[in-house]
Amino acid sequence: MALAHIISPKWRTTLSRARQSQGGRGKAIVMGTVGLVFWLAVFGVLYRVLRYFRGVEEIGPLLAGKLLGLVLLSFLSILILSNVITALSSFFLAKDLDLLVSSPVDWIHVYLAKLGETAVHSSWMVALMAVPIFTAYGIVYDGGWLFGPFVVSVFIPLLLFPAVVGSALTLILVNVFPARRTRDLLSIIAIAAAGGVVLLFRLIRPEQLARPEGFRNLLDFITVLRTPTSPFLPSEWATDSVMGYLVGPFDPLALVLLWSSAGATIVVGALLHWKLYASGYTKAQEGAERFIRGWVWQRVLGPIFHPLSVAKREFVIKDLKLFFRDTTQWSQLILLGVLVVIYLFNIKALPLFSGEQVPFALVTIVSFLNLGLAGFVLAAIAARFIFPAISLEGRQMWLLRSSPLNLRAMLWSKYWVGTIPLLVLALLITILTNVLLQASTFMMAVGVSTIILLTLAMSAMALGLGAVFPQFDTENAAQIPTSYGGLVFMMSTIALLAAVIVIEAAPVYAYLQAASRGEPIPISTTMLGAFALVAVLCLGATTVALYVGLRRIEAMEF
Amino acid sequence: MIQLEGLTKQYGKFVAVNGIDMEVPTGELFGFLGPNGAGKTTTLRMIAGILRPTAGRVLLGGDDVQENPMAAKARLGYIPDRPFVYEKLTGAEFLRFVAGLYGQDGTVIEQRIDELLDLFELSVWKDELVEAYSHGMRQKLIISSALIHRPECIVVDEPMVGLDPKGARLLKDIFRQFVDRGGTVLMSTHTLEVAQAMCDRIAIIQNGNIVARGTIAELRHQTEAGDASLEELFLKLTGGGAMRELAAVLSD
């Protein structure tokens, strides 16, 4: 009863938020459709793979089990990391803690309520992701109606383990370091680890494993498949339970192990909480020592932005300082670096130059389509870094609106602070990929000019739509792009990208035909018209987006 | 000088501020009192240009806040009730940024930053991020930011919240000196002793309407309250029912 009472404000808040959310039914339909498409895509791919496995004699079920084991192991790793970070907020930094800690509430109820909160916040996405995966397994291996409840009974302890372990790790860390410092440290470690894993996975070129010459003999292969990867991990017990249920023989030991160990972990976690929470919570109240050499920034950036008006200059410098002093913001640059390296690596790894004759047409087409792909990557980056710009000003809007700051100057500063780095990145990706592809001068010129126009437009759209769909309540910038407005931005950008690619397809095709016949570039009205249309479209999108954004900011009330 | 003419703010059918007319002349410290939800903060936010009025207008030194916002806002220093500032800036950087918003920079501003931080005993914290500041320190920083550009008018919402007695006394002295030198202060507060001691004139707002205004003597005369204190006048004008309920609850 007491536990339910502690949790009740959370779910009541969630319910009210759902009722009051902007967009109502339309938003729910869009989000639901996107979610459904994603689910269907995951289900479709896995269904085909599992159908194929099922058709392979002897090793089919082993492969399916191995795949499930890998998936659940990845889930477990992601969940531990995510729980560590979430536990820091829910156990030590949440706003309701002062009330809970000062009230006569039993410590075990506080622990269980906060553990539940941590588990739900960290696991909902993984749980949703697991639905199409288990559905595919259930359908391919004829799991029957009881398979659903069975999977739930397997999955719940699998979610509880990382929640308890993550919370316990956080509890120990907070007792050693100040909570806010720990949060910064963890964000960097988490992002660097995620980036490292993705990079490593790509650089080992997993596509080579599919080549048959990689296996020396079948028996070795089966032996490897039969060996449990991690026999002491809950993910392995969960895999054994599920595969035992689906293909037999079913051994209840794995399920018993899962539940009994989850129960035991919660007991150990609760004991740790009992012993260490009070001291950890006290330490978490200490502010981290944050003396800043502000003059360094002023000396370096002041002269660079000196030609700007005072208000614009101070705004730009302020935005740069806030970005580089916020670990949750700048640490994302690590992922960005990884993304660029993988992107370039993928282009380099394309089997275009493996034959004796380099097909000119293929290189031109890849170079052209690369424009769309690079545009998509840039759109994702704009969504992460430029879209939240207006939302992040929310709490300080009293200052901006009560001062004689021209809102146009604010928008101008935010636009260029976001656009210039994006433009540098866009040019870097486009020029390097075209050099790697050994594309012609014509394609290089088309690529560079188009990506400049697209970057200007996407940046403006991110800022404009960020003002139309602001998230003033969210303090974490990383959550803002995942909102409904973020989705609208991504869809609008993809529509713009598609339009640009379709319009430019005609002149590029004409160039390709002429070049293959050894003729000079056919500069025609159609070609010039197509490029002019792209320019008008992109510059139009830039102007309209910035205008709408400005009007929206002017109309905002706080 | 601050002038409000028929100032109205409606949220749907709810009228938060109902056609207020008010004038605070140069060299006056004007108190703006009222119960919770009476419309004080909404009025002050309209004066500061944060909220757009549904009807009416606000003039600061003769400039309309909606028609000529740059000129009007350049005359104003606004101190909100909730001190939200950029957590990742230091105190000095925040003041430099605010001065920049008013188009001011250079050595004059650097000197002014040092003076203000020194005045509010924040010099030691000058190069520390605002996220480490206490509520009272943030309040002092915001007060400093409202003074950095040497405004003609100050609009302040609950200035004493979070301030220690020394800080509160300092603020009273600053406001008094400010009006003595020809400045204008419009101050909303629930601290009636402060209002009685500091303000030249007072207006009491209830349900979006001004129910009384004038000096303490004029308010006493209007309400026929003899030599009652401001607290008694306030309760008489805004209804003492809530006070009686509170007393009943506490005695249970």
Q: Which ipTM did the prediction report?
A: 0.84
> B128 vs A290: CB contact, 8 Å cut-off?
yes
Contact predicate B207/B18, CB 8 Å: yes
Answer whether residue A453 shows pLDDT above 90: yes
Only one residue has tokens 């004699």, namely A57
Report the residue of chain B nearest A287, measured CA to CA: B132
Please report which helix (H) or strand (E) contains residue B206, including its range: strand B201-206
**pLDDT above 90: residue B57:** yes
Q: B-chain residues within 8 Å CB-CB of A322?
A: 86, 88-89
Predicted confidence at residue A98, as pLDDT, reads: 80
pLDDT of amino acid A21? 61
Could you tell me the two tokens for B111?
A: 């000197």
The pLDDT value recorded for residue A16 is 73
Q: How far is A470 from chain B (nearest CA, A)?
A: 17
Selected residue with higher pLDDT from B173 and A184: B173
Closest residue of A to B54, CA-based?
A557
Looking at mean pLDDT, say which of A284-288, A512-516, B235-239 comes out highest.
A512-516
Highest mean pLDDT among A233-237, A323-327, A460-464: A460-464
CB contacts, 8 Å: A292 with chain B: 90, 93, 127-129
First to last CA, chain A: 39
Residue with structure tokens 């009730």?
B81
The alpha helices in A141-206, defined as continuous H runs, are 147-176, 179-203
Option in A309, A318, A406 nearest B89 (CB)? A318
Task: Evaluate whether A274 touches A107 at the Cβ level (below 8 Å).
Answer: yes
On whether the pTM is more than 0.80, the answer is no
**Mean per-residue pLDDT, A298-303:** 78
Mean of the pLDDT values across residues A200-223?
Answer: 57
The answer to whether the CB atoms of B73 and A404 lie below 8 A apart is yes
pLDDT surpasses 90 at B117: yes
- Pick the residue from chain A with its C-alpha nearest to B96: A314
Most confident of A56-60, A160-164, A523-527: A160-164
Is B78 within 8 Å of B153 (Cβ atoms)?
Answer: no
Are residues A403 and B93, on separate chains, in Cβ contact within 8 Å? no
Q: What is the pLDDT of residues B141-161, one digit of tens each?
A: 999 999 999 999 999 998 887
The pair of three-digit structure tokens given for residue A523, joined into one six-digit string: 């500069």
* Separation CA A143–CA A247 (nearest Å): 9
CB-closest option in A180, A395, A402 to B48? A402
Between B52, B80, B127, which is nearest A292 by CB?
A: B127
Q: For the CA atoms of chain B, what is the radius of gyration?
A: 19
Partner residues linked to B7 by β-bridges: B20
Separation of alpha carbons A554 and A410, rounded Å: 11
Burial class (CB in 10 A: 0-12, 13-18, 19+), B252: exposed
Give the pLDDT band (50/70/90) at residue B6: very high
Closest-approach residue (CA) in chain B for A313: B100
Does residue B100 sit at the A interface (CB-CB below 8 Å)?
A: yes
- Per-residue pLDDT at B218 exceeds 50: yes
pLDDT at position B77 over 50: yes
Check if B51 contacts A (Cβ < 8 Å): yes
Share of chain B above pLDDT 90, in %: 50
Q: Bridge-partner residues for B55, per DSSP?
A: B8
Find the CB nearest A404 among B96, B102, B145: B102
pLDDT tens for each residue of A478-522: 778 878 888 889 889 999 999 999 999 889 888 888 888 888 877
Amino acid at residue number A181: R
Per-residue model confidence as pLDDT tens digits over A328-351: 777 777 777 877 887 888 787 776
Q: CB neighbours of A23 closer than 8 A, spacing ≥ 6?
A: A484
pLDDT at B246 over 70: no
Out of B104, B105, B131, name the one closest to residue A290 (CB): B131
Nearest to A266 by CA among A361, A370, A156, A415: A156
Cis peptide before A470 (omega within 30 of 0): no
What pLDDT is attached to residue A212? 47
| Structure confidence at residue A200 (pLDDT) | 66
Residues of B in contact with A315 (CB under 8 A): 97, 100
Most confident of A63-67, A105-109, A530-534: A530-534
Which residues share a beta bridge with B209?
Answer: B206
The predicted-structure confidence for A119-157, as pLDDT tens digits, reads as follows 988 888 888 889 999 999 999 888 888 888 999 999 999
Min Cα–Cα distance to chain B from A302, Å: 11
User: Of the ranges A84-93, A218-227, A520-529, B198-207, which is most confident?
Assistant: B198-207
Per-residue pLDDT, averaged over A148-169, amounts to 91
Task: Please give the average per-residue pLDDT across A2-13, as a whole number.
Answer: 71
A302 neighbourhood in chain B, CB within 8 Å? none
Q: Which residue of B has its CA nearest to A293?
A: B127
pLDDT for A78: 81
Mean pLDDT for all residues in chain A: 82
Looking at residue A228, its pLDDT comes to 59
Count of C-beta atoms within a 10 Å radius of residue B153? 21
